[in-house]
Amino acid sequence: MAGEADAIALDTLRRENEALRRRAIELERSVETRTAQLQAKIAELDGKNRELVERRSVFNAALESAGLWVVTLDPGGRIVRCNRRCAELAGQPVENVVGESFATALVQPYQRRQCEDWLARLAGSDSEPPDWEQRLIRDGEESRIVTWFGRRLDDAEGRTQFLIAAGRDVTEQRRIEEEVRKRRAEVAHLHRVYTAGEMAAALAHELNQPLAAIAAYAEAAIERLAQGTDAQREFLDDFERICAQAHRAGRTIADLRRFLSKGSASRAAPCDLNELVRVACELVGADVRLRRNAIELDLAPDLPPVLAEAVHVEHAMMNLIVNALDAMREVVEAGTVRISSHAVSDTMAQVTVRDDGKGLKLGEQERVFEAFHTSRATGLGMGLTISRSIIEAHGGRLWAEPSSRGGIFHFTLPFAHASPSLPRR
């Protein structure tokens, strides 16, 4: 009996050992499979990590080379991260700037309240606040103007996580805008002066004849009254006053016309005619874009300089462009003004302005230069009159060409080497 029991126990032990061996093999295979899966996952994560590192490197390189001051802030306005350019603005290494208040580290004291208000609007508003303009003043350096714009980053629940602010140096842009503003003001002033001069000439022409008639009738009445009765001679003083006032009014008009037409001393200098055309195009650029029109330039290279007062020729050029824009308004929705320049002789340059309007009929090409002639409901009709006066004062000529395929205007100006002096206006 003992031997049989031992045999059963031994057999049971063998089966258990075999089961354990098979289980061990299964576990080993499972471990191998899982290890391989983990190794593959680790390799995948390593690849993604390298990709993230590469992307971060590219992103950082882009931030450093973008020419912008870029900073990431927490909701309280403290710096979480910034590029090197931003740290240079603070005058400290990047690691010293992190954790500091944006307004304290990067903004001068007199503008900190404005900066804090801007950040508060950026953090608390659903819409982006207007850009904030910072003026940088450093000892021994020219002041700079930086425009900051920002974005808010929210989490899935809509809570603010970060504020991203980027600054751009707009000093040169502001300088150019100020120059354009001054040039526009100067051109507007000249336009008023020329308008006054042309109006004075037109009024003088219209008023001189009736004033001369009044004076003539008054003189005739004086002669008759001098030969009349004592009662009639009592009116002599009145008619003599009428005659004197008529002559005085005529002299006043003539003096005003001379004053407005002679202008100031000439400030003519050799000018790049193509550059004058470009400046005039820039000055009316906003109007061109607003009307959804376009300007095409075909300017002859190496054109010799002309002798001119730059702002006056720019004024005449602007009038021609605006006239072209007005002519296209009721004909095409988005027209094009084409401006070309070339030399027509050894002594003269010519500029041509074409538009997509309805053009001028034969016989209309001179009428458009008459004072107060206009086909528009608004405007005095003085633009082309003034432009012709300016060009002729520079020794050139301005004329229109009849055409049914759009307006065509030409003007010429003498080259500087052919113009020893510029006539006075």
187-200 tens-digit pLDDT: 776 666 666 666 66
Hey, what are 225's tokens?
Answer: 């009254």
Round the average pLDDT of the chain to a whole number and report it.
Answer: 78
Per-residue pLDDT of 27-42, as tens digits, reads 888 888 888 888 888 8
Decide if pLDDT at 338 tops 90. yes
Q: Which long-range contacts does 191-195 make (Cβ < 8 Å, 24+ apart)?
A: 191/315, 191/319, 191/386, 193/260, 193/263, 194/315, 194/382, 194/386, 194/389, 194/390, 195/380, 195/382, 195/386
What pLDDT is recorded for position 273? 95
Q: What is the pLDDT of residue 408?
A: 92
314 or 383, greater pLDDT? 314
In whole angstroms, how far apart are CA 69 and each of 75, 110, 147?
19, 20, 10
Structure tokens at 77: 């306005």
pTM higher than the cut 0.75 = no
- pLDDT at position 265 is 38
Task: Count the Cβ atoms, other than its own, within 10 Å of residue 183.
Answer: 18
pLDDT exceeds 70 at position 59: no
Helix, strand, or coil (residue 381): coil
Q: Are 208 and 253 in contact (CB under 8 A)?
A: yes
381-399 average pLDDT score: 83
Residue 263 has pLDDT above 80, yes or no: no
Tell me which of 208 and 35 has the higher pLDDT.
35
Structure tokens at 325: 């824009």
Taking Cα atoms as reference points, which of 274, 285, 342 lies closest to residue 310?
274
Please, what's the largest Cα pairwise distance for the chain? 186
* Tokens describing residue 195: 């308008």
Residue with tokens 């004076």: 215
Look at residue 379 in the predicted model and tell me its pLDDT. Answer: 47
Residue 366 confidence (pLDDT): 76
Which domains are seen in the chain, by residue range?
Answer: 69-169 (3.30.450.20), 176-262 (1.10.287.130), 269-418 (3.30.565.10)
- Rounded mean pLDDT, 180-209: 68
Pairwise CA distance, residues 27 & 235, whole Å: 140
Does the pLDDT at position 284 exceed 90? Answer: no
Residue found by looking up tokens 């607003």 in the block = 290
d(CA 297, CA 302): 15
Q: Which tens digit of pLDDT belongs to each residue from 354-381?
A: 998 888 887 776 777 775 555 554 444 5
Helix (H, G, I), strand (E, B) or coil at 306: strand
Return d(Cα 80, Cα 92) in angstroms, integer.
15
- The pLDDT, as a whole number, for residue 1 is 58
Beta bridge partners of 136: 144
422 φ, ψ (degrees, to nearest 5): -105, 130
